[in-house]
Amino acid sequence: MRTHYCGQVTEVLESQKVTVAGWVHRRRDHGGVIFIDLRDRSGLVQVVVNPDDADKFAKAERVRSEYVLKVEGQVCARTPETINPKMVTGKVEIVADSIEILSASDPIPFQLDDKNISEEVRLTYRYLDLRRDEMQQAMKTRYKVTRSMRRYLDDNGFMDMETPILTKSTPEGARDYLVPSRTHPNKFFALPQSPQLFKQLLMMSGFDRYYQITRCFRDEDLRADRQPEFTQLDIETSFMTEEEVMDMMEGLAKTIFREAVDVNFDYEFPRMPYSEAIEKYGIDRPDLRIPLQLVDVADLLQDIEFKVFSGPAKDPMGRVAALRVPQGGTLSRKEIDDYTKFVSIYGAKGLAYIKVNDLAAGLDGLQSPIVKFFPDQAMEIMQRVGAEDGDIVFFGADNAKIVNEALGALRCKLGEDLGLIEKEWAPVWVVDFPMFEMDEKTARLTAIHHPFTQPKATTEEILNHDKPELMLSRAYDLVINGIEVGGGSVRIHDTKMQAAVLKMLGISDEEAKDKFGFLLNALKYGCPPHAGMAFGLDRLVMLMANRDSIRDVIAFPKTQSAACMLTEAPGVVDDGQLADLDLRFRKPARD
């Protein structure tokens, strides 16, 4: 059918006969000579059709954009004035000897070079959207990443092993997608949120080093970096500490960046405790490209009469923090109001600020509606945050979670808006996570990572700990440019410790046996110390391909409402299929 891809037709093939096939990207008629830009996944090549053969020329006159052609011809050098330096094939063209129309095309609903196509249209006609160069490049990057992952792990003694897609619903994590069983009436499978338990069982089975590029499913609210079904690189190892796992996974990250996007990290990734990340950046996935940091000032404001600040300053669950923005004093009132509206998304009730006009003038050099409430502390605060003339200092005062989320998000937005990003890439390992956190809705402990993560404590310390939310875990996340691209932990390999953690989470012995009995039983029969990690492939490729949404690096993604515009899924099924499953529709309740 063809001898070369379009993008392979370069000057090295000059004077040779070639056969290419692809889509008509563009057709131009220049006074009796027709030029066709033919496209396949490798790129474009220009085809010249001369009027020396009436049948061939007639075919060329009929073709339109997105027709599929087969072209045979001779590779010829372009004249100097017609060379296109922006194309790999720009020094040559194919002078057509024959043209075959393999497939015609109706007029397409949008032009492939249109930059303003709505996402709804793009997803409805995804097969056309994927023909666009930027989507082709994104999919190629994804392929390069997975190829590099497999090669690195194969070279380091890992085995690619599959785990079940139809599995059992467990009570932890996000909501499961359920699949009714026809052969077991009134019982359900669940699609896996991750292969966590199975990969631990593989370690207990003696396979030592496992990996899998696998599909996972979570029935949760979506956003730009989430999908109901997603892909992750899943890894588990035996007889390795968290330090060894992180070193090996850092090697993996460096390898895929080098091989897929030609980025070289010639340094060790820094490691930052979770507590430091929250204190300085308000978030456990800090974007270290941005130099701005949060600074605690609660100790200076506990005794003032201004309760907006003194209340959170005295509250053990509160926080008062300042965020200095170098030369941010040029921000207008409207811009400050816009940032105030922005932080309200995260629950902040306002955004106090001080503009630093002239530090040498003392209080008179500070412009702010709030300085009058703490005149004795204002200059000390300026000194603590390192303020200089021309700066603006923003403040957050509220529940610590609200302050962290609001100022953490504001920090990143200011970094982007004001051009404060100092480097292209900033990887960091975040370590020493808390083992547990309190769920505000249910008032019960939950595991920050998952309940199979090993705490930095003995079984006895777990059972007798009076403040479990202060207990640390042997967990680690890899963050790049403020995006968590992977996370993992050392797992519990002792039955008693696992039982103690489940008990701490309020999971009864009966429920533990019902949901995790197979794991608890397996732990009894010689379980090796083991640890692992998972990389979010979609999120990682989104970052490497410089895209804003993981939908742009997934061939056939779902919308934010978890629907497929292309196939119109989810859809209705007929009564016969429901009857096979002993299911029926329940009519919605009426008022």
Residues 72 and 165 grouped into a single domain: no
Of 370, 399, 422, the domain-final residue? 422
pLDDT score at 463 = 87
Does 172 score more than 70 pLDDT?
Answer: no
Residue ending a domain, choose from 61, 86, 103: 103
Domain count, the chain: 3
- Residues 435 and 418 occupy one common structural domain: no
148, 213: one domain: yes
363 and 263 fall within a common domain = no
Pairing of strands 444-447, 436-439: antiparallel
Q: Out of 422, 452, 483, pick the residue that ends a domain.
A: 422
CATH code, domain with 19? 2.40.50.140
Measured distance CA(26)–CA(112) in Å, rounded: 11
Q: Is 484 labelled a binding residue?
A: yes
User: Could you give the CA distance from residue 306 to residue 313 in angstroms, rounded to a whole number?
Assistant: 11
The answer to whether residue 125 scores a pLDDT higher than 90 is: yes
Answer whether residue 234 is part of any domain. yes
Is 579 contained in some domain? no
Q: Which two tokens stand for residue 306?
A: 């201004």
pLDDT tens for 350-400 read 999 999 999 999 999 999 999 999 999 999 999 999 999 999 999 999 999
Judged against a pLDDT cut of 70, whether residue 99 lies above it is answered with yes
Q: Does 568 fall in a domain?
A: no
313 and 409 fall within a common domain: yes
Question: Is 218 annotated among the ligand-binding residues?
Answer: yes
Please answer whether residues 20 and 89 qualify as being in contact, where contact means their C-beta atoms are separated by less than 8 angstroms. no
CB atoms within 10 A of CB 503: 14
Range of the domain at 83: 6-103
Structure tokens at 239: 């007889």
Q: Check whether 97 is labelled as a binding-site residue.
A: no
Q: Is residue 74 part of a domain?
A: yes
The verdict on whether residue 172 carries a ligand-binding annotation is yes
State the DSSP string of 118-139.
-HHHHHHTHHHHTTSHHHHHHH
- Consult the annotation and say whether 131 binds a ligand: no
> CATH no. for residue 523?
3.30.930.10
Assigned domain for 152 exists? yes
Q: Are residues 264 and 204 in the same domain?
A: yes
Q: Decide if pLDDT at 71 tops 80.
A: yes
Q: What is the pLDDT of residues 283-323, one digit of tens each?
A: 999 999 999 999 999 999 999 999 999 999 999 999 999 99
CB 455 within 8 A of CB 471: yes
50 and 88 belong to one structural domain: yes
Whole-number pLDDT of residue 225: 67
- Please state whether the predicted TM-score (pTM) of the whole model is above 0.75: yes
Q: Is 548 among the domain residues? A: yes
Whether residue 418 is found in the same domain as residue 436: no
Query: Is 442 a residue whose pLDDT tops 80?
Result: no
Distance in angstroms (rounded) separating the CA atoms of residues 110 and 329: 45
On whether 536 is known to bind a ligand per the annotation, the reply is yes
Task: Report whether 300 belongs to an annotated binding site.
Answer: no
Strands (E), 421-552: 427-431, 436-439, 444-447, 475-480, 483-490, 530-536
Same domain, yes or no, for 313 and 266?
A: no
Task: Consult the annotation and say whether 220 binds a ligand.
Answer: yes
First vs last C-alpha separation in the chain: 65
Please indicate whether residue 468 or residue 546 has the higher confidence score (pLDDT).
546
Is 4 marked as binding a ligand?
A: no
> Is 149 within 8 Å of 213 (Cβ atoms)?
yes
Residue 123 in marked binding region:
no
